[in-house]
């Protein structure tokens, strides 16, 4: 059995992930879209290694009213919402409550998108291969929302790329994306952070700086 080696930090994880994406190096029809905030340091390293553009694609969890940490779904750029129907049904959450929380999270999503890009327009991904990057997948709800939202922008293909993930989440994602790249899929997966020596929060300023660096600003 191969030895499981954790990543030192998100930047190292991105460099190792890029090794598994080397077939996309230098292609003019490829763009990396990272999920903020933790996915941006990973995506930066991937984009640098492949020599392709980097941008962000925002996803926000839609939490249960009064229990915000429990996700009843997620929304992404473009207004796409993925529902956790089992939670909605079990807690009998009304459409009014769902719409209210989704609208609030949508406003925050738009605010962050404007802040991160510093006025730069969103990339045109029509006809391109989009590599969606995050620092890992636990439930996969956020990435699922991102994949479905990107599909609405008419790309040629959607690739999900993460350094580590729960095996069931990878299996589910294969039904959503054209390709899933994940070098570390431990059976004992409990949380993304357990596979990083340094999993300290990525700041908004770090996101802005990495995007500016990638854009040559």
Delimiting residues of CATH 3.30.1310.20 domain(s) in the chain: 60-116
Q: What are phi and psi of 59, to 5 degrees?
A: -135, 140
Phi-psi domain of 94 (left: phi exceeds 0; alpha: psi -120 through 50; beta: other): beta
Distance separating alpha carbons of residues 63 and 2, to the nearest angstrom: 38
Which pLDDT belongs to residue 5? 53
Give the 3-state secondary structure of residue 106: helix
Q: Mean pLDDT per segment of 10 residues, for the chain of length 217 residues?
A: 70 97 97 96 98 93 89 82 90 96 91 84 90 94 87 94 96 97 93 94 95 86
Which pLDDT belongs to residue 4? 52
Which pLDDT belongs to residue 3? 42
Which pLDDT belongs to residue 194? 93
CATH class of 10-59+119-214: alpha beta
Delimiting residues of CATH 3.40.50.2020 domain(s) in the chain: 10-59+119-214
Cβ pair 11, 38 in contact under 8 A: no
Distance separating alpha carbons of residues 192 and 88, to the nearest angstrom: 25
Crossing angle between the packed helical segments 39-50 and 204-214, to the nearest 10 degrees = 10
CATH class of 60-116: alpha beta
Closest CA to 12 of 58, 59, 49, 51: 49
Which pLDDT belongs to residue 16? 97
């Amino acid at each position: 059995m191969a030895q499981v080696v954790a990543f030192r930090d998100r930047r190292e994880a991105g460099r190792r992930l890029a090794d598994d994406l080397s077939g996309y190096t230098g292609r003019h029809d490829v763009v990396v879209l990272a999920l903020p905030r933790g996915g941006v340091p990973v995506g930066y390293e991937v984009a640098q290694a492949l020599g392709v553009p980097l941008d962000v694609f925002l996803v926000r969890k839609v939490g249960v009213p009064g229990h915000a940490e429990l996700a009843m779904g997620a929304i992404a750029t473009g207004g796409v919402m993925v529902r956790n129907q089992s939670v909605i049904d079990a807690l009998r959450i009304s459409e009014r409550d769902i719409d209210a929380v989704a609208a609030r999270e949508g406003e925050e999503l738009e605010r962050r998108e404007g802040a991160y890009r510093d006025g730069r327009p969103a990339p045109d991904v029509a006809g391109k291969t989009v590599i969606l990057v995050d620092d890992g997948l636990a439930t996969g709800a956020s990435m699922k929302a991102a994949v479905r939202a990107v599909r609405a922008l008419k790309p040629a293909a959607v690739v999900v790329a993460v350094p580590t993930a729960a095996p069931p989440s990878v299996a589910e994602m294969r039904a959503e994306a054209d390709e899933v790249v994940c070098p570390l899929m431990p059976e004992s997966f409990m949380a993304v952070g357990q596979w990083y020596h340094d999993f300290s929060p990525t700041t908004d300023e770090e996101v802005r700086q990495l995007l500016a660096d990638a854009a040559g600003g």
